[in-house]
Amino acid sequence: MGDEVRLLGQLGSGAQLDLIVRLLEWTIEALPSAARSLLEGEAGETVSGALQLVRGAAAGSLPDEESEEVEELEDELAELADELELQDLWQLFVALNDSVGVPAEDVTVEFTRTIMSACYDVIRDCEDVPEFPVGTQESVALDAERANNNCMRAIEYQKELIRTAVQE
Protein backbone atom coordinates (compact mmCIF):
# COMPACT_ATOMS: atom_id res chain seq x y z
CA MET A 1 0.00 0.00 0.00
CA GLY A 2 3.08 2.24 0.29
CA ASP A 3 2.97 3.43 -3.32
CA GLU A 4 -0.72 4.27 -3.09
CA VAL A 5 -0.25 6.18 0.16
CA ARG A 6 2.40 8.32 -1.53
CA LEU A 7 -0.08 8.99 -4.34
CA LEU A 8 -2.50 10.53 -1.83
CA GLY A 9 -0.18 13.53 -1.69
CA GLN A 10 -1.01 14.23 -5.35
CA LEU A 11 -4.68 14.69 -4.50
CA GLY A 12 -6.15 17.97 -3.39
CA SER A 13 -8.15 18.08 -0.19
CA GLY A 14 -11.48 18.02 -2.07
CA ALA A 15 -10.47 14.92 -4.04
CA GLN A 16 -9.41 13.27 -0.79
CA LEU A 17 -12.80 14.01 0.77
CA ASP A 18 -14.50 12.51 -2.29
CA LEU A 19 -12.30 9.45 -1.83
CA ILE A 20 -13.32 9.26 1.84
CA VAL A 21 -17.02 9.36 0.90
CA ARG A 22 -16.57 6.52 -1.60
CA LEU A 23 -14.56 4.54 0.92
CA LEU A 24 -17.13 4.95 3.69
CA GLU A 25 -19.94 3.93 1.33
CA TRP A 26 -18.02 0.88 0.11
CA THR A 27 -17.07 -0.16 3.63
CA ILE A 28 -20.68 -0.16 4.75
CA GLU A 29 -21.71 -2.19 1.70
CA ALA A 30 -18.79 -4.62 2.17
CA LEU A 31 -19.71 -5.48 5.75
CA PRO A 32 -20.83 -9.07 6.23
CA SER A 33 -24.61 -9.38 6.42
CA ALA A 34 -24.56 -10.02 10.19
CA ALA A 35 -22.66 -6.77 10.75
CA ARG A 36 -24.86 -4.84 8.30
CA SER A 37 -27.94 -6.05 10.17
CA LEU A 38 -26.58 -4.23 13.23
CA LEU A 39 -27.05 -1.01 11.26
CA GLU A 40 -30.81 -1.35 11.17
CA GLY A 41 -32.98 1.01 13.14
CA GLU A 42 -31.47 3.87 15.11
CA ALA A 43 -27.85 2.91 14.39
CA GLY A 44 -28.54 2.87 10.66
CA GLU A 45 -30.30 6.23 10.79
CA THR A 46 -27.33 7.75 12.60
CA VAL A 47 -24.86 6.26 10.11
CA SER A 48 -26.99 7.48 7.17
CA GLY A 49 -27.24 10.97 8.65
CA ALA A 50 -23.50 11.15 9.21
CA LEU A 51 -22.78 9.88 5.71
CA GLN A 52 -25.14 12.50 4.27
CA LEU A 53 -23.20 15.25 6.04
CA VAL A 54 -19.88 13.92 4.74
CA ARG A 55 -21.32 13.71 1.21
CA GLY A 56 -22.59 17.27 1.59
CA ALA A 57 -19.16 18.49 2.66
CA ALA A 58 -17.62 16.80 -0.38
CA ALA A 59 -20.18 18.61 -2.55
CA GLY A 60 -19.34 21.93 -0.88
CA SER A 61 -22.32 22.15 1.45
CA LEU A 62 -21.29 22.06 5.08
CA PRO A 63 -23.33 22.91 8.14
CA ASP A 64 -21.72 25.11 10.75
CA GLU A 65 -19.24 22.94 12.67
CA GLU A 66 -20.95 23.99 15.88
CA SER A 67 -24.44 23.24 14.55
CA GLU A 68 -26.78 21.14 16.64
CA GLU A 69 -27.03 18.59 13.84
CA VAL A 70 -23.27 17.99 13.79
CA GLU A 71 -22.99 17.88 17.57
CA GLU A 72 -25.97 15.53 17.86
CA LEU A 73 -24.57 13.14 15.25
CA GLU A 74 -21.14 13.18 16.89
CA ASP A 75 -22.73 12.32 20.25
CA GLU A 76 -24.84 9.54 18.73
CA LEU A 77 -21.84 8.06 16.90
CA ALA A 78 -19.76 8.15 20.09
CA GLU A 79 -22.55 6.34 21.94
CA LEU A 80 -22.80 3.70 19.22
CA ALA A 81 -19.03 3.15 19.35
CA ASP A 82 -19.37 2.36 23.06
CA GLU A 83 -22.21 -0.17 22.70
CA LEU A 84 -20.99 -3.69 23.40
CA GLU A 85 -23.25 -5.38 20.83
CA LEU A 86 -21.85 -3.07 18.14
CA GLN A 87 -18.19 -3.51 19.10
CA ASP A 88 -17.17 -4.91 15.70
CA LEU A 89 -18.38 -1.66 14.10
CA TRP A 90 -16.78 0.83 16.47
CA GLN A 91 -14.09 1.81 13.94
CA LEU A 92 -16.83 2.72 11.43
CA PHE A 93 -18.50 4.96 13.99
CA VAL A 94 -15.16 6.59 14.81
CA ALA A 95 -14.39 7.18 11.10
CA LEU A 96 -17.80 8.76 10.57
CA ASN A 97 -17.49 10.81 13.76
CA ASP A 98 -14.09 12.11 12.64
CA SER A 99 -15.47 12.98 9.19
CA VAL A 100 -18.71 14.73 10.17
CA GLY A 101 -18.42 18.49 9.98
CA VAL A 102 -14.99 18.49 8.30
CA PRO A 103 -14.80 20.92 5.39
CA ALA A 104 -12.94 19.71 2.31
CA GLU A 105 -10.17 22.27 2.77
CA ASP A 106 -9.28 20.74 6.16
CA VAL A 107 -8.69 17.25 4.76
CA THR A 108 -5.03 16.24 4.80
CA VAL A 109 -3.18 13.11 3.73
CA GLU A 110 -2.82 12.14 7.39
CA PHE A 111 -6.56 12.56 7.96
CA THR A 112 -7.37 10.48 4.86
CA ARG A 113 -4.97 7.74 5.99
CA THR A 114 -6.64 7.69 9.41
CA ILE A 115 -10.08 7.20 7.85
CA MET A 116 -8.72 4.56 5.47
CA SER A 117 -7.19 2.69 8.37
CA ALA A 118 -10.44 2.78 10.37
CA CYS A 119 -12.41 1.53 7.35
CA TYR A 120 -9.99 -1.36 6.91
CA ASP A 121 -10.10 -2.12 10.63
CA VAL A 122 -13.89 -2.41 10.67
CA ILE A 123 -13.74 -4.96 7.85
CA ARG A 124 -11.03 -6.87 9.72
CA ASP A 125 -12.93 -6.69 13.02
CA CYS A 126 -16.02 -8.24 11.40
CA GLU A 127 -14.00 -11.21 10.17
CA ASP A 128 -12.72 -14.22 12.09
CA VAL A 129 -9.13 -13.02 11.93
CA PRO A 130 -7.35 -14.29 15.02
CA GLU A 131 -6.21 -11.78 17.58
CA PHE A 132 -2.61 -12.01 18.66
CA PRO A 133 -1.10 -11.06 22.01
CA VAL A 134 0.88 -7.86 22.36
CA GLY A 135 4.44 -8.50 21.28
CA THR A 136 3.55 -10.83 18.41
CA GLN A 137 5.63 -10.14 15.34
CA GLU A 138 3.79 -7.82 12.97
CA SER A 139 4.40 -10.20 10.05
CA VAL A 140 2.43 -12.96 11.83
CA ALA A 141 -0.61 -10.68 12.25
CA LEU A 142 -0.31 -9.40 8.68
CA ASP A 143 -0.14 -12.92 7.30
CA ALA A 144 -3.38 -13.80 9.11
CA GLU A 145 -5.10 -10.72 7.69
CA ARG A 146 -3.81 -11.38 4.18
CA ALA A 147 -5.19 -14.92 4.37
CA ASN A 148 -8.70 -13.45 4.78
CA ASN A 149 -10.54 -12.74 1.52
CA ASN A 150 -12.51 -9.74 2.82
CA CYS A 151 -9.41 -8.14 4.32
CA MET A 152 -7.65 -8.51 0.98
CA ARG A 153 -10.71 -7.12 -0.85
CA ALA A 154 -10.57 -4.06 1.41
CA ILE A 155 -6.86 -3.55 0.77
CA GLU A 156 -7.27 -3.94 -2.99
CA TYR A 157 -10.29 -1.63 -3.06
CA GLN A 158 -8.42 1.09 -1.19
CA LYS A 159 -5.45 0.82 -3.56
CA GLU A 160 -7.72 0.99 -6.61
CA LEU A 161 -9.67 3.90 -5.14
CA ILE A 162 -6.47 5.92 -4.74
CA ARG A 163 -5.16 5.05 -8.20
CA THR A 164 -8.50 5.99 -9.78
CA ALA A 165 -8.69 9.28 -7.86
CA VAL A 166 -5.20 10.26 -9.03
CA GLN A 167 -6.15 9.56 -12.66
CA GLU A 168 -9.36 11.65 -12.50
Each residue's pLDDT expressed in tens, for the chain with a length of 168 residues: 567 778 898 999 999 999 999 999 999 999 999 999 999 999 999 999 999 999 999 998 866 655 788 899 999 999 999 999 999 999 999 999 999 989 999 999 999 999 999 999 999 999 988 888 888 898 888 889 999 999 999 999 999 999 999 998
Print the domain residue range for 39.
Answer: 2-167
| Number of other CB atoms surrounding residue 106 within 10 Å | 13
- The C-alpha atoms of residue 93 and residue 20 are separated, in whole angstroms, by 14
Split into its structural domains, the chain has a count of 1
pLDDT of residue 39: 95
For the whole model, what pTM was predicted?
0.91
Q: Are 118 and 126 in contact (CB under 8 A)?
A: no
pLDDT of residue 64: 61
H/E stretch holding 60 reads: none
pLDDT of residue 4: 79
pLDDT of residue 1: 58
pLDDT of residue 66: 59
Q: Are 43 and 79 in contact (CB under 8 A)?
A: no
pLDDT of residue 92: 98
| Number of other CB atoms surrounding residue 57 within 10 Å | 24
Q: CA-CA distances (angstroms) from residue 33 to 36, 53, 106, 120?
A: 5, 25, 34, 17
